Amino acid sequence: MSRTTPATVALTKAGVAFELHPYDYDPDAPRVGLQAAEALGWAPEQVLKTLMTLVDAKPVCVVVPSDCEVGMKKLAAAAGGKSAQMMKPADAERLTGFKVGGVSPFGQRRAVPTFIDETAVLFERVLINGGQRGLLLELAPDEAARACAATWADLTA
């Protein structure tokens, strides 16, 4: 497993301090984020999953706790749109340059609007995908938001 990914390069370039947390990725896990939280011994609400969505057919990156679902109406409203839906995995991979299960909000091929669930600020540190399956990054939520120019919003269903 490489410890250098487009995500770690982007964070380093932005001057954001982070710690690497590799784990054994299980592609057959029913909910990959929860499996990662369990593997690393972190609370699921502190392990944030990165999802690629479409709001009014435009790409949007969403970061929410691994134990929650995205409220599509809340996401659409936060992004100033009318409707939201999940992006097809192949489209997400092509757009971000990351494999599904390893999508990070940092270092994507093309910058898109990014939203982070507001509950992340309740924690001093959170884990967010590091740009490959089996690698999470520990960092401060406000630094994560700064690094990907994210907007805070109430996003969970």
CB 132 within 8 A of CB 2: yes
Q: For residues 8-26, give the mean pLDDT.
A: 94
Query: How do residues 101-132 score in pLDDT, each as one tens digit?
Result: 999 999 999 999 999 999 999 999 999 999 99
Does residue 1 have a pLDDT over 90?
Answer: no
Query: How do residues 19-45 score in pLDDT, each as one tens digit?
Result: 999 999 888 888 888 899 999 999 999
- pLDDT band for 2, please (50, 70, 90 cuts): low
Q: For residues 72-86, give the mean pLDDT.
A: 97
Number of H helices, E strands in the chain: 5, 8
DSSP at 87: P
All domains in the chain, ordered by first residue: 6-153 (3.90.960.10)
Q: What long-range pairs does 42-45 form, CB within 8 A, spacing at least 24?
A: 42/127, 45/119, 45/123
